[in-house]
Structure formats: C-alpha cells, structure tokens
Structure 1
Amino acid sequence: MALPECKTLLLERRDHALYITLNRPQARNAMNRAMVGELTAVLDAVEADLDVRALVLRGSDGHFCAGGDIKDMATAHAAAAEGDSEAFYRLNRSFGELITRVNAAPQVVVAALQGAVMGGGFGLACVSDVALADQSARFGLPETSLGIPPAQIAPFVASRIGLTQARRLALLGLRIGADEAARLGIVHEAVTDAAALSAGIDEVLAQLKRCAPVANRVTKSLLLATRTRELEALLDDAAAEFARAVTGPEGGEGTRAFVEKRPASWNQ
C-alpha cells in the first residue's frame, strides 16, 4: 500500500491501524480544500487493503478540528463575485462527499477527540465507529450563529443522536463538553485526559484484533444498509454473505481456532 504525500495530514502506520492526524495547528486543524482532497486520497489508497483494519482520526496540538476554514469561504466569495454561481455549492458539497466516504469506509474508524470538535469536526466524529473524548473536548455546531446551516453535517448528526437532540444542538448553536457528548451518544466514552485517551484508543485497537477483517467489513456494510435497504432484501443479502463467510477462509480459521482453543490468525 502506497500512501499519498500530504501537507495537511500526518500519516503513521501502527500494526493494523493507520493513524491520520489532521495537521493545521495554526487553524486548530480547520478543514480546507487541500485537507479534504488529501483525506479522500488516503481513503482511496487504503480502501482495499485488508491489513489496514482501523483508521484512527485525531488532531494535532490539542485540537481535533475547528470546522471549515474561513479562508475557503473568502475564496468562494471571490469566485462568486466573478460570476461563478456554483462556487459555494462545490465548496460545501465537497465536504459532504468526504464525510460520506468516511462514513462508509470499510475499516473501523476510531475518533480521538480533544479541544475543538466543531462544525465539520463534529460531523467527522458522528461518522466514526468508535469515538473517545477527553475532558478538553468541546463539541458544537456554530454554523447557525454565523448565518449559515450545517448543511452537509446535519444528516449525520441526526443519524448519530436522533432528530430531537440534533435540533436542540443545531438550532441553538450550543457547545457541550465531553461528558454531555457521551450522554448523547456522540462519543462512546469520555476520559480524563490525553494519557487516558491514548490508552483508551490502544484498548479499542487491541479489541479490534480479535475480529476478522473481512467479517468486519461485511458487518459494517450490513449495518449501514439498515438505514437505506428494504428489510427482506437486506436479509437475503445478509444470508448470502453469511454463507460465503462460513465456507470461506475466515470462517474455517475461526472455527479451527475455537476448537483448538487458540487465537485466530488475525489476532496475532
């Protein structure tokens, strides 16, 4: 697997996980067009790689992501003033395409959240499979206070925490801490500090090693499909996937490992 060269991201492979660090500390890791493009390129590079079983998203210098970069808005304003009627649409929609890709990534997406988790950063947290936050984390959807809607983020927030809570957060522009985020289900666990956050991520990744990579990919796909597919058709497909798994290499290895009372080959 060849990873792309990145200017706004730091990439580090550790065992079965790829750590992706948003790295624009001067802007609290606000997401600009370059970062959107680089994240998309990384997702493309690892999509079919079964050795990369987790993507750990985090931010540099004590912040996760402060949302979208306001400088991109200025660039879109200039383009619109010159007659480009689609400038703001393209800018906004490009992030929606990215967050959709992260949501559907075949790997387990783990979010390590600190400091600013705002706007687009909030959206990324809401499409993670596992999210942990330390007590420095502050979550919010400030868009309406700036006179704009959280257009690409809103569906994913509502899917994560339910419509009524999404309404409250978005329509009041509220900011909440890690404990409230855990209560609402934005994150799965709120921990005390950065050291506990790092230890928690290590525990998640250790647990993940017990799960077969292809089985995990199929399971994630089936879970996501529950929101869009008709039930009987989805169950038909699920049965076909089950049959393939039972007779495939992972199913055989899993059964042998259980009988022989040893870890499976993917848990090494």
Structure 2
Amino acid sequence: MSLPDTQTLLLEQDGPVLRVTLNRPESRNAMSLAMVNELMAVFAAVADDPAVRVIVLRGAGGHFCAGGDIKDMAGARAQLASGESDAFYMLNRRFGEMITATNAQPQVIVAVLEGAVLGGGFGLACVSDVAIAADDAQFGLPETGLGVIPAQIAPFVVQRVGLTQARRLALTGARFNGAEAARLGIAHEAVPAAKLDERLAETLAQARRCAPHATRVTKQLVLDTLVQPLDQLLDQAARDFANAVASEEGSEGTMAFVQKRLPKWAE
C-alpha cells in the first residue's frame, strides 16, 4: 500500500490501524477543500487493502473539526463574482462526495471526538462506525444561524439520530456536550477527556478480534439494509454467510473457538 502525500492530514500506520489526524489546528481543523480531497485520496488508497482493518479519525490540537473552512467560502464567492455560477455548488457537493465515501469505506471507522465537533465535523462523526466522545466536547449544527444549510450532512444526521432529533438540532442550532451526544446516539459513549486514549485502545483491541473479511462483508450488509428490499437483502446475506462458513476465516474462527485460543487475525 502506498499512502498519498498529504498537507492537511497526519497519517500513521500502526499495524492494521491507520490513524488519520485532521491537522489544521490553527482553524480548529476546519474542513478545507484540500482536506476533503486528501481524505478522499487516503480512503481510496486503502479501500482494497486487507492489511488496513481500522481507520481512526481524530483532530490535532484538542479539536475534532469545527466545520467548513471560511476561506474556501470566500474563494467560492470570488469565483461566483467572476462568473463561475456553480462555485458554491461544486464546493459543497465535493464535501458530500467525501462524506459518502467515508460512510461506505470498507474499514471500521473509529472517530475520536473532542473539542469542537461542528457542522461538517458533526456530519463526519455521524458516518463513523464507532464514535468515542470526550464528555466536554462541543457538538452542534450551526449552519442555519449563519444563513446557510447543512446541505450534504443532513441525510447522515437523520440516519444517525432519527428524524425528530435531526429536525430539532438542525432548526435550532443547539449546542450540547459529549454526554448529550452519547445520549442522542451521535457518539456511542462519552468519557472524560483524559480517558479517551485508554478507551480508544480498548475499542481497537475489540476490532482486532473480528475477522477482517467478515467485518467488511458485515459492514456492507448493515449499510444495504437502508437501500435493498428485504427479500433481496436476505438472499444476498445467505450467500455471504455460506461463503463465510466455507472460507479460510470461517475455518480458522471455528478451530480457534474449539481450541480455546485467539484466531490468527487477533494475535
């Protein structure tokens, strides 16, 4: 695997874990177009690599992501003034392409949420498979208070918290902490900030106990429940199950269970 060069992200390979750190601390890791493009390049580079089983998303400097980059908005406004009528559309839609790619990424996505988790950062949290929040992190959808809309993240927020809560959060711009984010289901749990690294390590240990290919197929199965008719989904699930049982992973998992040992992928 060859990772792309990045200017706005820090990349660290740690065995089966790829740690991706949003690295614009001077702007609380606001999501610039460059960062969006770099995230997409990293996701594409590792998508088919079975050696990368988990991607950890975190922000540098004590913040996850404070939303979109104001400088990009200003640049798009200048483009609009010069006659490029689709400038804002293209900027916003590119973010939507990234968050859609993150949602569908075959690896397990673990988000570590601290400091500002706002706007686009909030949306990114909503497409993680596991979200661990600091109990004092600050969450919110501030877009309507700025005269804009949470255009690309709204569907993913609805899927995460349900329609009634999504309406309240998006239409009031309410701010709330990590403990409330866990109650709403945006994060799966909230812990004191000093315990984030410990809880992350425990989560990664749990993920490593799961078979790599079975995890990928299971993630796709779960996502397909949103888009496929039930009979079609269950037919495909039965085929995937039969393939899994007959696979090398299935044999190893069964033998490890009988022999009361860890399977090879968890060692």
TM-score (norm 1): 0.98
- Structure 2's unaligned 5+ residue stretches are none
Q: Which amino acid aligns with 1:108?
A: V
The residue number in structure 1 matching 2:143 is 143
Deviation sequence 1:102-159 (CA, Å, 0-9, x none): 0011010000011000000000000000001113310000000011110001110010
The residue number in structure 2 matching 1:93 is 93
The residue number in structure 2 matching 1:171 is 171
Q: Which amino acid aligns with 1:2?
A: S
Deviation sequence 1:64-122 (CA, Å, 0-9, x none): 00000011111111111111111111000000000000001101000001100000000
Give the deviation of 1:16 after TM superposition. 1.4
Superposed counterparts of 1:142-161, under 5 Å:
142-161=142-161
Q: Distance in 2 between matches of 1:15 and 1:36?
A: 25
The residue number in structure 1 matching 2:203 is 204
Q: Distance in 2 between matches of 1:29 and 1:23?
A: 6
The residue number in structure 1 matching 2:40 is 40
Give the deviation of 1:259 after TM superposition. 1.5
Q: Which amino acid aligns with 1:224?
A: L
The residue number in structure 1 matching 2:120 is 120
Q: Distance in 2 between matches of 1:74 and 1:18?
A: 33
The residue number in structure 2 matching 1:246 is 245
Superposed counterparts of 1:1-268, under 5 Å:
1-193=1-193, 195-268=194-267
SS at the partner of 1:160?
helix
Q: Which amino acid aligns with 2:244?
A: A
Q: Distance in 1 between matches of 2:27 and 2:35?
A: 12
SS at the partner of 2:62?
coil
Instruction: Tell whether the 8 Å contact from 2:136 to 2:179 is kept in structure 1 after alignment.
Output: no
SS at the partner of 1:29?
coil
Q: Distance in 2 between matches of 1:213 and 1:27?
A: 36
Q: Distance in 1 between matches of 2:136 and 2:19?
A: 20
Q: Distance in 2 between matches of 1:176 and 1:136?
A: 9
Q: Which amino acid aligns with 1:104?
A: A
- How many positions carry a matched residue from both structures? 267
Give the deviation of 1:35 after TM superposition. 0.3
Q: Distance in 1 between matches of 2:88 and 2:62?
A: 30
Deviation sequence 1:186-230 (CA, Å, 0-9, x none): 00110012x300111100000111100000000000000001100
Which segment drifts farther, 166-175 or 130-139?
130-139
Q: Distance in 1 between matches of 2:25 and 2:256?
A: 46
Which segment drifts farther, 119-128 or 135-144?
135-144
Q: Distance in 2 between matches of 1:235 and 1:101?
A: 24
Q: Distance in 2 between matches of 1:26 and 1:68?
A: 14
Q: Which amino acid aligns with 2:24?
A: R
- Structure 1's unaligned 5+ residue stretches are none
Q: Distance in 2 between matches of 1:85 and 1:191?
A: 45
SS at the partner of 2:260?
coil
Q: Which amino acid aligns with 2:183?
A: R
Q: Distance in 2 between matches of 1:261 and 1:105?
A: 32
Q: Which amino acid aligns with 1:149?
A: I
Q: Distance in 1 between matches of 2:205 and 2:237?
A: 27
Q: Distance in 2 between matches of 1:136 and 1:26?
A: 20
Q: Which amino acid aligns with 1:234?
A: L
Q: Distance in 2 between matches of 1:239 and 1:134?
A: 39
Give the deviation of 1:261 after TM superposition. 1.5
Q: Distance in 2 between matches of 1:99 and 1:153?
A: 8
Q: Distance in 2 between matches of 1:47 and 1:97?
A: 15
